[in-house]
């Protein structure tokens, strides 16, 4: 085939906001609104607050918003902190085809650079869509090693592409920033999420930071390999890379329009199980004390989340037994049901020990199109309740409505902003292309009193 990198860079550099179908623009707006609320809420977590306090007083240019605070800092630091905050609660959107979370890897860098340079909302949305597009396509074109966590890998290239687009790169510079950023990803470990190692939460923040760093490096004369994508994602972190997949339907199929949103505040691999459990609970209320055991049969990746005794909040978010138990005991799968204090709730801990997760190879074979789960609740009286879900609510096949996404936004936003401020931010996000300067919106993000 012809040089796929040439096709990519030509597409990125030539693409204009006016080229996007209306569904792409609408989804990009929704990603922005959703991400702002998720980041702002995550910024209230103790680790993020301490991280911010340690980093911001060091000085620098105060031009970019640390979302969920009243603070401004230099763009790279804002990108790092906001990207980190956005993953803390496991509520950031994702893409099942790229097998990761492209939005949170791009939006923090693109927003910080847009603030610094007073770019318009249209410029910002264009960069977000294209950074999302390239990052996701790398995830599609390769298959990361099973021992790796996808955060902090191909998202770095997505962030760099967004920054390059904002800064008006031509094809030569765009190719260079792709190649340079290919070598700036992390060697991530999937074990961090399973064990509750919260270093995992910074991976997306680092990608945003590196996206901005890649721009500074290219402008300073640094160079990358001739084809860094193919090397890194074809032989270093993955053994297979398809150039054809990078350009298939380029310009007609936009990955941001195939994304998913999350309402359950935990790993997406839990969601099919929780959706099936929700069907059961909708028909019959459950009490922990009447349950003998819960059996979950699901696909391979979800079956890995089998820890019946997670030790902290992050580990709880990556545990099917804990997610099932807290959903039954607390009647919710929102943020509060996964707080640290809930990890030690005796009723939840006791029920989690009665939740058993196994892989069904037939369900694994249905991936990636489906993320199936079968749930059987065995009651102590001998009766059983069963349900199954083939897809996760919020996926492309079963998307949340605009009203449901708005409800999620305000459920989180009310914890940070007064209602009138939250409404103004949401209105700006949903009409971003009309803003001459993104600071019209970001100035509102700092109105916390």
CATH code of residue 359: 3.30.1330.120
What is the pLDDT averaged over residues 291-320? 95
Q: Please check whether residue 396 lies inside any domain of the structure.
A: no
What gap in Å lies between CA 291 and CA 21, rounded to an integer?
Answer: 49
Q: Please check whether residue 437 lies inside any domain of the structure.
A: yes
Note whether 15 and 127 are within 8 A (CB). no
Q: Please check whether residue 371 lies inside any domain of the structure.
A: yes
CA angle 410, 416, 421 (to 5 degrees): 70
Its domain, for residue 163, covers 4-262+407-445
What gap in Å lies between CA 384 and CA 78, rounded to an integer?
Answer: 51
- For residue 212, pLDDT over 50 is answered with yes
Q: What percent of the chain has pLDDT over 90?
A: 92
Phi and psi angles of residue 111, each rounded to the nearest 5 degrees, phi first: -70, -45
Q: How many CB atoms lie within 10 A of CB 436?
A: 11
- For residue 1, pLDDT over 50 is answered with no
- For residue 267, pLDDT over 80 is answered with yes
Look up the CATH number of the domain holding residue 424.
1.10.4100.10
Look at residue 351 in the predicted model and tell me its pLDDT: 97
Secondary structure of residue 98 in the 3-state scheme:
coil
Categorize the per-residue pLDDT at 59 as very low, low, confident or very high, splitting at 50, 70 and 90. Answer: low
What is the pLDDT averaged over residues 304-324? 94
What is the pLDDT averaged over residues 126-130? 98
Categorize the per-residue pLDDT at 131 as very low, low, confident or very high, splitting at 50, 70 and 90. Answer: very high
Note whether 49 and 154 are within 8 A (CB). no
Q: Are residues 223 and 285 in the same domain?
A: no
Q: Are residues 9 and 154 in the same domain?
A: yes
Look at residue 367 in the predicted model and tell me its pLDDT: 85
Q: Are residues 56 and 106 in the same domain?
A: yes
Burial 258-271 (b: 16+ CB within 10 A, else e): ebbbbbbbbbbbbb
The DSSP annotation for 391-436 comes to S-TTSTTSPPPHHHHHHHHHHHHTTTS-HHHHHHHHHHHTTGGG-S
Note whether 334 and 327 are within 8 A (CB). no
Q: Are residues 330 and 425 in the same domain?
A: no
What gap in Å lies between CA 419 and CA 432, rounded to an integer?
Answer: 20
Give the predicted TM-score (pTM) of the model.
0.93
Residue-averaged pLDDT of the chain? 95
pLDDT tens sequence across 385-432: 999 999 999 988 889 999 999 999 999 999 999 999 999 999 999 999
Q: What percent of the chain has pLDDT over 70?
A: 99
The DSSP annotation for 320-346 comes to HHHHHHHHHHHS--SGGGGSHHHHT-H
Q: Are residues 148 and 47 in the same domain?
A: yes
- For residue 147, pLDDT over 80 is answered with yes
What gap in Å lies between CA 129 and CA 160, rounded to an integer?
Answer: 13
What is the pLDDT averaged over residues 351-355? 97
Look at residue 340 in the predicted model and tell me its pLDDT: 85
What is the pLDDT averaged over residues 40-62? 90
Note whether 429 and 36 are within 8 A (CB). yes
What is the pLDDT averaged over residues 255-266? 95
What gap in Å lies between CA 106 and CA 113, rounded to an integer?
Answer: 11
Q: How many CB atoms lie within 10 A of CB 49?
A: 14
């Amino acid at each position: 085939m012809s040089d796929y990198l040439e096709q990519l860079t030509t597409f990125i550099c030539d693409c204009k906001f006016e080229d996007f179908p209306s569904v792409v623009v609408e989804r990009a707006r929704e990603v922005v609104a959703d991400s702002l609320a998720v980041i702002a809420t995550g910024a209230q977590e103790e680790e993020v607050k301490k991280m911010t306090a340690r980093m911001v007083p060091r000085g620098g240019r105060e031009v970019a918003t640390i979302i969920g605070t009243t603070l401004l800092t230099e763009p790279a630091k804002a990108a790092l902190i906001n990207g980190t905050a956005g993953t803390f609660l496991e509520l950031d959107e994702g893409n099942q085809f790229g097998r990761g979370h492209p939005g949170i890897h791009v939006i923090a860098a693109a927003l910080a650079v847009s603030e610094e340079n007073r770019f318009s909302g249209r410029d910002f949305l264009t960069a977000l869509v294209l950074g999302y597009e390239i990052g996701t396509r790398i995830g599609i074109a390769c298959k990361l090693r099973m021992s790796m966590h996808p955060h902090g890998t191909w998202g770095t290239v997505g962030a760099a592409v967004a920054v390059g687009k904002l800064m008006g790169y031509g094809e030569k510079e765009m190719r260079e920033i792709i190649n340079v950023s290919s070598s700036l990803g992390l060697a991530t470990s999937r074990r961090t999420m399973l064990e509750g190692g919260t270093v995992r939460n910074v991976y997306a923040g680092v990608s945003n930071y590196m996206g901005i760093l890649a721009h500074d490096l290219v402008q300073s004369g640094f160079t990358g390999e001739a084809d860094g994508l193919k090397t890194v994602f074809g032989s270093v972190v993955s053994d297979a890379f398809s150039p054809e997949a990078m350009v298939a339907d380029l310009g007609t199929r936009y990955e941001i329009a195939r994304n998913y949103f999350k309402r359950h505040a935990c790993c997406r691999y839990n969601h099919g199980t929780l959706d099936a459990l929700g069907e059961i609970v909708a028909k019959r209320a459950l009490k922990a004390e009447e349950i003998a055991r819960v059996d979950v049969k699901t696909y391979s990746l979800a079956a890995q989340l089998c820890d019946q005794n997670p030790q902290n909040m992050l580990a709880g978010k990556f545990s099917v037994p804990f997610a099932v138990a807290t959903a039954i005991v607390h009647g919710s799968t929102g943020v509060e049901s996964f707080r640290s204090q809930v990890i030690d709730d005796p009723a939840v801990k006791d029920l989690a020990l009665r939740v058993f997760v196994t892989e069904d190879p037939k369900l694994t074979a249905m991936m990636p199109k489906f993320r199936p789960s079968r749930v059987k609740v065995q009651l102590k009286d001998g009766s059983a309740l069963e349900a199954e879900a083939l897809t996760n609510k919020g996926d492309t096949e079963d998307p949340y409505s605009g009203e449901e996404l708005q409800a999620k936004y305000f459920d989180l936003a009310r914890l940070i902003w007064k209602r009138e401020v939250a409404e103004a931010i949401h209105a700006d996000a949903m009409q971003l292309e009309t803003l001459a300067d993104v600071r019209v919106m970001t100035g509102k993000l700092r109105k916390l009193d």
